Copies of this chain bind each other. A is one copy, B any other.
Amino acid sequence: LITTLHTKRTELLPAVLGSTEETTTGVIRLRAMEKEGSLRIPVIAVNDAKSKNMFDNYYGTGESALHGILRATNVLLPGKNFVIIGYGHCGRGVAAFARGFGCHTIVCDVDPVAALQAHYDGHRVMTAGEAAATGDIFLTVTGCKDVLNAGHFKRMKDGAVLANAGHFNVEINIPELEGLAKRKRTVRPNVQEYELADGRRIYLLGEGRLVNLAAAEGHPSEVMDLSFSLQALAAEYIAKHKLEARVHRIPTDVDENVARLKLQALGIKIDALTDAQEKYLAGWSEGT
C-alpha cells in the first residue's frame, strides 16, 4: 500500500496523515526509503514495539510455523535435524519450540551476535552449506532472499523438507530448485515433491510462501491482538500529533499500555515500584 502510494498514486499522498507498519521486512524497506529520501509520510514502526516483536514474532511465528509443518507433512518432529535459518525474534521462537519437541536444532545466521546466542542457547551453529548436508527439515526466517539455493539443494539428503516462515517466497530460491528437478508432483496438499536428476527428492511446503499461512491458519488471534492494539493506538497517536515524514519508534507508554491491558485481560497482577524505589533507581549515591 505504501509502495503503491509512493509510485502509482502519488496524488493521494498529501491527504495521508501517516501510516503504521506491522512487519520486520516492511520496516526495513521503509528505512531504506527514508534513507534514500523517498519517504513522504510519517510511519510508526509498530514492529519495533516490545509488545510486538517479542510476542507476535517469537511466540506467534514459533507456534504457527511448527503447526504449518505438522499439518502439511505429519512428520515426527522428535529426533529430526531441524535447521532454522535466521535467529531473529521469529527464528528464536521456532528454535525454542522445535527443541521442546525433541528436535536436534541447527541454527544459521549471518549476524555474529545472533549466531553466538544460538550456540549458547544449545543449538548447533554452522553455515547453511554445512547444514544442507545434515538437515531433515529446513525453515527460512530471515527477511532476505536466496537463502537456500542450488548450492544447498545439491547437498541435501533424500527426503529433505523445505519451508519458509520469513517474508516472501524468495527466501528459498524456487526457480533454482525447479531448474534442478527432473520431475515434480504434489504428494499431499501443500507438499510439492521435486525429484532431482540423481533420484533424491526434496519436499517444498506451501510453494515457499509463509508456511504458517499456507498450510495452517497463521498466528493465533490471541497474539495478534497485541499487534492490532498497537496499530490502533499508533494510528490514534498519528492523528493527535503532527509527525515528520520519517520512520518513528512507537512511544514507550503506548507500548507498555498494550502489555498492561493484556495482563489485565489474562487476570495477571503485577507489583508497582514504591516511591522510595523510584527514587533509588533515579539516584546514584545510595549503596556500596
Q: Which residues of A contact B (CB under 8 A)?
A: 3, 25, 28-30, 32-33, 35, 50-51, 54-55, 58-60, 62-63, 67, 70-71, 74-79, 96-97, 99-104, 108-113, 115-117, 119-130, 143-146, 167-170, 216-217, 219-223, 255-256, 259-260, 262-263, 266, 268-274, 276-277, 280-288
Contacts and interface: CB of A to CB of B under 8 A. Distances in A.
B50 A76 contact: no
Given A277-B145, A282-B32, A266 B119 contact: yes
Given A54-B117, A78-B121, A102-B121, A112 B280 contact: no
A177 B281 CA distance: 22
* Nearest 6 CB-CB pairings of A with B: A100-B100, A29-B284, A112-B259, A76-B220, A78-B120, A76-B222
B78 A122 contact: yes
A70 B79 contact: no
B143 A281 contact: yes
A273 B146 CA distance: 10
Given A75-B220, A284-B32, A51 B113 contact: yes
Tell me the number of copies of this protein. 4
A100 B66 CA distance: 12
A263 B55 contact: no
Given A75-B222, A97-B101, A113 B256 contact: yes
A51 B115 CA distance: 11
Contacts of A54: 113, 117
B145 A55 contact: no
Contacts of A170: 286-287
Nearest to A102: B122
A78 B59 contact: yes
Contact of A74 (B112, B116, B217): B217
Nearest to A169: B288
Contacts of A167: 287
Given A263-B112, A266-B119, A283-B32, A124 B104 contact: yes
Nearest to A217: B74
B125 A268 contact: yes
Most buried by B among A29, A30, A268, A282: A268
Contact of A76 (B30, B59, B128, B216): B59
A78 B63 contact: yes
A28 B281 contact: yes
A85 to B, nearest CB: 9
A60 B50 CA distance: 24
